[in-house]
Amino acid sequence: MADPKGFLTHDRELPARRPVDVRIRDWREVYEDFPKPALTKQAARCMDCGIPFCHNGCPLGNLIPEWNDLVYRDDWREAIERLHATNNFPEFTGRLCPAPCEAACVLGINSDPVAIKRVEVEIIDRAFSEGWVTPQPPEAKTGKRVAVVGSGPAGLAAAQQLTRAGHDVVVFERADRIGGLLRYGIPEFKMEKRHVDRRLEQMEAEGTEFRTGVNVGVDVTVAELREEFDAIVLAGGATAWRDLPVPGRDLKGVYQAMEYLPPANRDMAASPISAEGRHVVVIGGGDTGADCIGTAIRQGAASVTQLEIMPQPPAARPDSQPWPTYPMLFKMESAHEELEAGAGDRVYAVSTTEFLGDEDGDVRALRLVEVEGPASGFRQVPGSEREIPAELVTLAMGFVGPEKGPLLTDLAALASREFFDPRGNVARGTSYETAVDGVFAAGDMGRGQSLIVWAIAEGRSAAAAVDEYLTGRTALPVAIPPTARSLV
C-alpha cells in the first residue's frame, strides 16, 4: 500500500493547462509538466481498498493499485513493467482515455478519485525518457504469417502481441501514415504525434512490417490476402459517419468532422479546409466535436458555436448513474475552456433544421430550433426557431459502423454464417473469430464506435485468439471477451 493516510491528507490535483491565450497560438499539448512531488502525492492517495473496482472499470484490467504503490515508493522501473503487463500503449491511454477507472475508484464514493490516468502517463513518459522502453523481439519464430488490416490502436495492439509471439506480422493501412484515428482524427493538442512515431519505431525494431497506402479489398484483394497469410485480423475501425440530411446539406462549407480534422492534422500550418476568419458551427457535443472546436480556434476562427441536441448534462453524478458506473457529466475539456474564454459558446437542446447559402453556394447561416428532451422524441419548441451565422460547419454526430466496402462485402460473400451483427458491425464469436475461417476482428470494426482503451483491449485479446488458432495454444493474455461492455 502507498501512504496509509494519503487519501486523508492530500487532495486530488492535476497539472495545470497552459494559459488559453498562449496555447491557442500553437498546436502543442495543453498540459504543463507535473512536478514529481505532486505526482507522488497523487499516487499516495490510492488507499489499497481491497477490492479495486478500478481494475474492472479499466477494460485493460490495468493493475492500478500496484503501480500507484510503486510510484509512491519511487520504483518507476517496476512500475512500467506492471503497466506494460496489461497495456501496450499507456502513452495513448494516459493522454486520451476518459478514465472509466477513475469513475470506479472506491475513493470516489465520497471523495475525489485518485488521479489514475495522470499517474499512468507519467510512468510511461518517464520510461521513454529513461530509455527503458526497448524493442522486445521474439525469441523464436513460428513461420506463420498474419495480416492486420488497419493501423489504429486495435490493429497496433494486435500486431505487437502477435509479433512478440513469433509470427510474421504485416499491418496494412490505406492512409499514407500509420496510426488510424490516433494519427489523423485526434489533434496534436490532445496528443502530439511524436508519441505514435516513437512507439512505431519500437514495433518496427521488433519486426512488425507496415505497408501504407494499401486499401485492402481494392489494392490487395481478399483472395490474395488469404492466399499470402495464415490469419487475418480486421481492425479497420467504424468510419462510416452519421449524416444530417436537412435542406442545404450540399452547400459548400458543410463537412463531416472526419473530412475536416485529417487535413488539419496533416498540415497544421495550412490546412486546405481552414476556419480562419470564419464563423464556425460544430454540430455534436462529444469528443469529436471538441476536437473540431480546438482545431477551429487554432486556425483563427472568427467564432465557434457548438450545438448539441441533448440537454446540458449535470455537473455532479446524478442518482440514476451511481458509483461505479461511468456518469455522463458536463465536461470542461481544454477546447471548451478555449471556447468559453471568448471564442464562442456551447448551446444545448437544439436541432438544426436547415443550412442557408449565399449566391455562390457557400453556407452562410444555419437555422435551428430548440427541442424538448429525448423522452419527448426531441419535440420542437414552437416559436424557438432562429438563425445563426455559419460559414464553416462540421458534423460531429458519431459513426454508424464500419464501411461496407469491397473488403467487408467480399468477406461477407465467403461467410459460413451472418458476417454482420444486427448493428452492422462485424460479428464475432467468443474468440474474436468472424464467420470466415482464419479471419478475426477487433476494435471499432467489431464493437462499433468506442474508445482507444477498448480498442487496445480487443487488439490484445484477438491476438491471443489468433495465436491459439495458428499454434494450438497461447500464452498471450486475454483482456476482455468481445461481448464485454462498459458499466452503465
Ligand X SMILES: Cc1cc2nc3c(=O)[nH]c(=O)nc-3n(C[C@H](O)[C@H](O)[C@H](O)COP(=O)(O)OP(=O)(O)OC[C@H]3O[C@@H](n4cnc5c(N)ncnc54)[C@H](O)[C@@H]3O)c2cc1C
Query: What, of ligand SF4, ligand X, none, does residue 62 touch, CB below 5 to 8 Å by kind?
Result: ligand SF4
Angle at 145 between CA 144 and CA 146, to 5 degrees: 125
Number of residues that bind ligand X (CB under 6 A): 39
Strands 145-149 and 240-241: unpaired
Query: What, of ligand SF4, ligand X, none, does residue 117 touch, CB below 5 to 8 Å by kind?
Result: ligand SF4
Give the separation between CA 274 and CA 386, rounded to whole angstroms: 26
> Nearest to residue 432, comparing CAs of 474, 486, 487?
474
> Nearest to residue 230, comparing CAs of 164, 158, 170, 172?
170
Span of 9-17, 26-34, 94-102, 465-473 interacting with ligand SF4 by CB under 6 A: 94-102
* C-alpha grid cell, residue 130: 529513461
Strands 399-401 and 240-241: antiparallel
Q: CA 175, 176, 181, 184 torsion: positive or negative?
A: negative
Residue 120 sits in the site that holds ligand SF4 (CB under 6 A): yes
Pick the closer one to ligand X by CB: 83 or 148. Answer: 148
Query: What, of ligand SF4, ligand X, none, does residue 64 touch, CB below 5 to 8 Å by kind?
Result: ligand SF4
C-beta atoms surrounding 359 within 10 Å: 6
297 CB-near residues (< 8 Å, 6+ apart): 24, 275, 304, 335, 338, 339, 343
Residue 407 sits in the site that holds ligand X (CB under 6 A): yes
Residue 132 C-beta: closest distance to ligand X, Å: 25
Q: How many residues does the chain have?
A: 488
Residue 287 sits in the site that holds ligand X (CB under 6 A): yes
Span of 68-76, 128-136, 177-185, 199-207 interacting with ligand X by CB under 6 A: 177-185
Residue 64 sits in the site that holds ligand SF4 (CB under 6 A): yes
Residue 233 sits in the site that holds ligand X (CB under 6 A): no
Number of residues that bind ligand SF4 (CB under 6 A): 14
- Out of 69, 308, 444, 467, the only residue in the binding site for ligand X (CB under 6 A) is 444
Which H or E run includes 355? strand 350-357
Place of cell 486495435: 154
Residue 58 sits in the site that holds ligand SF4 (CB under 6 A): yes
Residues 380-409 vs ligand SF4: string with x where CB under 6 A?
------------------------------
Pick the closer one to ligand SF4 by CB: 48 or 209. Answer: 48
3-state secondary structure of 284: coil
Residues 431-450 vs ligand SF4: string with x where CB under 6 A?
--------------------
- Eight-state DSSP code of residue 112: P
* Exposure class string for 37-56: b at 16+ Cβ within 10 A, else e: ebbbbbbbbbbbbeebbbbe
Pick the closer one to ligand X by CB: 70 or 282. Answer: 282
* Exposure class string for 202-227: b at 16+ Cβ within 10 A, else e: bbeebbbebbeebebbeebebeebbe
- Out of 44, 60, 304, 441, the only residue in the binding site for ligand SF4 (CB under 6 A) is 60
Residue 24 C-beta: closest distance to ligand X, Å: 19
Residue 463 sits in the site that holds ligand SF4 (CB under 6 A): no
Residue 154 sits in the site that holds ligand X (CB under 6 A): yes
Span of 77-85, 355-363, 383-391, 450-458 interacting with ligand X by CB under 6 A: 450-458
- Eight-state DSSP code of residue 106: G
* C-alpha grid cell, residue 119: 499517474
Question: Is 186 in contact with 163 (CB distance < 8 Å)?
Answer: no
Residue 443 sits in the site that holds ligand X (CB under 6 A): yes
Residue 102 C-beta: closest distance to ligand SF4, Å: 6
Residue 150 sits in the site that holds ligand X (CB under 6 A): yes
Angle at 456 between CA 454 and CA 458, to 5 degrees: 65
Residue 235 sits in the site that holds ligand SF4 (CB under 6 A): no
Pick the closer one to ligand X by CB: 35 or 213. Answer: 213
Query: What, of ligand SF4, ligand X, none, does residue 100 touch, CB below 5 to 8 Å by kind?
Result: ligand SF4
Residue 105 sits in the site that holds ligand SF4 (CB under 6 A): no
What Cα–Cα distance (Å) separates residue 195 from each residue in 90, 161, 190, 192, 286? 10, 19, 11, 6, 24
Residues 341-370 vs ligand X: string with x where CB under 6 A?
------------------------------
The type of residue at 131 is: G
> Nearest to residue 450, comparing CAs of 417, 404, 419, 488?
488
The residues binding ligand SF4 (CB under 6 A) are 57-58, 60, 62, 64, 93, 97, 99-101, 116-117, 120, 453
The residues binding ligand X (CB under 6 A) are 96-97, 149-155, 172-175, 180-181, 185-186, 190, 214-217, 235-237, 239, 261, 287-288, 291, 407, 443-445, 450-453, 455
